[in-house]
A and B are shown apart, each in its own frame.
Chain A
């Protein structure tokens, strides 16, 4: 930096030394003489075209370490979106009007230098940064990508960068060598020599200026000196019209050189302006950076204003200045940044005599002077920069004056707070004649109606003075008129009035009426009233915005419709299509056309032009509540009493500002980690991303603090814009899986609805549980589970039902068997007993009665036996192997013994209590009985052995005789005719039924063995 400063100093010293020797030649002088009339004419013309009063600037500065976390600022440039880019040590810095943000380059490892010494901003948001180490970085603010160009020149500081109209990039290196970069390739050298400045004129000429001469680049490939006719130049800057401005310090002249090579305008510049760097401002002034002094503004009128450190400049050594589209100038020095905003409003000079006294009312006199009503100091007159106090000539005089009216030859009328109407003539003041000071003490409004009568609004009614006589309107219907705050003359002799609490009304044809229907109660506190020229009226309120009343229809404007605030203290019409309002946030102007559009329903908002403290208004708090709280004179000067003093705005020269804002995303951080955003590509959020922090801005130097933001996420159905206020920071949490589009728009109040948003696509990847296939699998599993569950339930019910039916069927079968047994066996035998006993009854004692009784006895005995068997089979108590064994043993023994055959029974000594169901018991018993009966009947045996073997799994009952035996094959082929065979088949059937087996072994002469096996 020191080297750079030293070089600059030496260079400037050289220029100043050379200047006297470089005066124009004699020929040149004659040329100048010949063209002098033209020069003079253009000068006069130029002056006439520019504004009459010099632009004043309000300075705002950020010094390194005090609100600016950067140092070593060296260069700056302004982007199309309004961002101010500043090259500093370590970083490229973006300034959005409020904040300085570092732009992180992901190149630090490959970048040798850390100090940016030159900057160039391309139209397409490419910022070219030249480093002290000779490197060149291309940073695209749209994509956030930085690209390091291969270094193909000697390592030395880059001093300037520019792009010519053909698209080639030019780089000036420290040794004054020039490099042309074309599509990444360098060509050259194209040395001109000397410390150059590049400039492109409005017509597209690419120029380079060095001490003493201007060179023009010809696309043919040559730098050619521009014809020199204006002497030794000191500095050059492009003109806003055509050509360029040329500063000749030696001649103390600034020349506007047109494209034809002629001077279109010549200005005299003060001798101290030995500026190396200057520019033509939006209003046509030349503004120059003067080392050690600061910034010198040279008005076309010739007035010169210097802004130094005492005026708020960060430093008096300004290295570079740029001007934005609204005419705001950014000046950087190595240790600070300053903003110079054109003052649209100024304090009226020469009012020191008022001290701290508040100005409550203001009115103009016929000669262009001002009447000033003060709070406590009486009446003043201001003319030609001088303030004169009016002398009190008659008491009682109340110095708390709230309203004013110039009465022409009659002087001035002033309404006081407590003393009624006062009158001033020729610097003398006293109570007005014809006014009843005891009646109407508070006079807050004074106007002159179209018929010349004077109207006075008071705390208790409205008075009209015509021909020196006061007429009073004290009531409106049955309501007394109280606390009138403002009056306005309307069409057809109508006089509008506004009250503090009763709303507004009008007086017409000697009749007062309030405007109806009522709005909300707040809107009844009227502070300003102004006829709209179409039979209606504009009504300003304190806290309830602006209202329009037209034939009983209200239109209500609030902050949401674009008003800077909801207060309207005074309304004035500049006669050029604009209404001016004073408020608690400054003064603002709205075109009547846009207001009409809103009243007609063609628009929903208005775009006011706000003038506040940034524009030089001493205070944003304007005085309000009285009818004369502002005054717009016929020249367009708008006088506004504020809490900071009486200010004036030239309404004719006020700049229209571009209210469009270009929002831009400056940083996106996912879960606290900054990520690069690629335009046109969605930002992919990994599964389970917690938060996305989006930082954005809308760079502007014009009222940056009033910029509001809104956002919306279009993934949300019917998503509406969500206001973020002035916050430039948005935190989104836990996005739903899918693609979202985040849109952000920026604007001043009222312009948001029409603002063009920027978008950011976000794609939240689903977590495992949120993924589609996981849901599909979950659904399938759930449905499958349900199906299985239902199927198993149905099956279970089916099985249970089947078992129940089986059981029922088994029970039924058993019941049928028992019933059959009872019927066939017991029933038949008991019938026999019955028949036999009847027979016996008829017989004589000797007719074989004994035989009959014997038969009865034996039959009854058989019945008992059968019954016993039946009971045994049925009784579930006997469902054990032990009971079965003992029972079959007894039955077998009875049968065999009764038949007179020797009987041998073998049953295990110890029998288990394992269960054996009734069916099995019954069938096994029957089988055994049949086998025994067969043996007894057919075997002609001497002994029958019955053996029972039981182990854990099976039961085996064997009946064996020592009889004659038979061929087994014949039994197997049994036709059922032979009882033996039939019995054999019965036994098989029975065993089959209970799932058992029968085994028959027999050989003729060797006895028979039948064994029944049953699985327990």
Chain B
């Protein structure tokens, strides 16, 4: 799967971390860590990223539990995490690693269209996701985008998010409720609008749409945490501090 949404690389500054305003080429390369149990995939991903200039693989881990300590220590810029792993799942890993090293950006690696897991990972604090089939240039582009603070959101994830926000929430938190603009963006995404179309429709820049999406992510995390607190015993994924 590729991104249906074109990411506007020259979006406005709102919500963007100035510290991560790193050029794509030259300067410090992006430090990447990979947590993937399948050796072939792991090696392929590591090989691909290593061969791409401006990227440096600082660690590759087979086991999430083993990786937890080193990753928090290494403080890579982006961690690629497989969703399905034996033992500790990728979602739990995201949750745990973000609580230890809050600055780390996690990208989920997943097989075809596992919306449920993607959604859970996003709710746990992941910044984006990639299909394992989408290696190559798209992969590095997505990593860059995420690093820059971009927030990719596909229609089906959006629909999932809509469902999540429409679920009766026992702890109605002010912060967690979406603004009307954010709702609008989310619903349009869910209906199949592209970022570009949304920007045209709402007469804002694509970067602004991206910012709205970023905020939606954050609020989703807050919302999910509130739900987790309310339904702790039901076994929602544990949320790290953010």
Point out residues on A near B: beta carbons under 8 Å.
860-861, 864-865, 867-868, 882, 885-886, 889-890, 893-894, 896-897, 902-907, 909-911
Contacts and interface: CB of A to CB of B under 8 A. Distances in A.
B190 interface: yes
Contact of B163 (A868, A893, A896, A911): A911
Contact of A889 (B159, B167, B193): B159
Interface stretch (B19-27, B76-84, B91-99, B111-119): B111-119
B156 interface: yes
A893 B162 contact: no
B192 interface: yes
Given A864-B133, A882-B163, A904 B191 contact: yes
B190 A890 contact: no
Contacts of A864: 111-112, 133
B112 A907 contact: no
A995 to B, nearest CB: 27
A904 B192 contact: yes
Contact of A893 (B112, B133, B187, B192): B192
Contacts of A890: 113, 115, 155-156, 159
Contact residue range for chain B?
20 to 34
B166 interface: yes
B155 A910 contact: no
A905 B192 contact: yes
Nearest to A885: B159
Contacts of B113: 868, 890
**In the A-B complex, the 5 residue pairs with the closest CB atoms:** A890-B156, A903-B192, A910-B166, A868-B112, A909-B166
21 contacts: A861-B133, A864-B111, A864-B112, A865-B112, A868-B112, A886-B115, A889-B155, A889-B190, A890-B115, A890-B155, A893-B4, A893-B155, A896-B192, A902-B192, A904-B192, A905-B190, A906-B191, A907-B159, A909-B187, A910-B167, A911-B163
Contacts of B156: 886, 889-890, 893
Contact of A897 (B4, B163, B166): B4
A893 B188 CA distance: 13
B160 interface: yes
A735 B235 CA distance: 78
B159 A886 contact: yes
Interface of B: 1, 4, 111-113, 115, 133, 155-156, 159-160, 162-163, 166-167, 187, 190-193
A907 B160 CA distance: 11
A944 to B, nearest CB: 9
Nearest to A903: B192
Contacts of B159: 885-886, 889-890, 905, 907
Contacts of B4: 893, 897
A906 B187 CA distance: 9
B167 to A, nearest CB: 8
A903 B115 CA distance: 19
Most chain B CB within a 10 A radius of its CB, from A865, A867, A889, A894: A889
A276 to B, nearest CB: 125
B111 A905 contact: no
A885 B112 CA distance: 18
B169 to A, nearest CB: 12
A886 B187 CA distance: 14
B130 to A, nearest CB: 14
B155 A909 contact: no
A803 B31 CA distance: 61
A867 B192 CA distance: 24
A886 B163 contact: yes
Nearest to B119: A886
A865 B187 CA distance: 26
Nearest to B160: A886
A535 to B, nearest CB: 117
Nearest to A883: B116
Nearest to B111: A864
Most chain A CB within a 10 A radius of its CB, from B155, B166, B187: B155
Contacts of A885: 159
A863 B113 CA distance: 13
Given A886-B115, A893-B156, 5 more contacts: A861-B133, A865-B112, A905-B159, A905-B191, A909-B162
Nearest to B136: A857
Most chain B CB within a 10 A radius of its CB, from A893, A897, A911: A893
Most chain B CB within a 10 A radius of its CB, from A860, A865, A909, A911: A909
A613 B155 CA distance: 133
Most chain A CB within a 10 A radius of its CB, from B1, B4, B190, B192: B192
A907 B187 CA distance: 10
Contacts of A896: 192
Given A861-B133, A864-B133, A910 B192 contact: no
B227 to A, nearest CB: 15
A868 B1 CA distance: 13
A894 B115 CA distance: 13
A283 to B, nearest CB: 123
Contact of A909 (B115, B163, B192, B193): B163
Contacts of B166: 909-910
Contacts of B160: 886
B187 to A, nearest CB: 8
Most chain B CB within a 10 A radius of its CB, from A867, A894, A896: A894
Contacts of B111: 864, 868
A875 to B, nearest CB: 11
A491 B112 CA distance: 138
B51 to A, nearest CB: 17
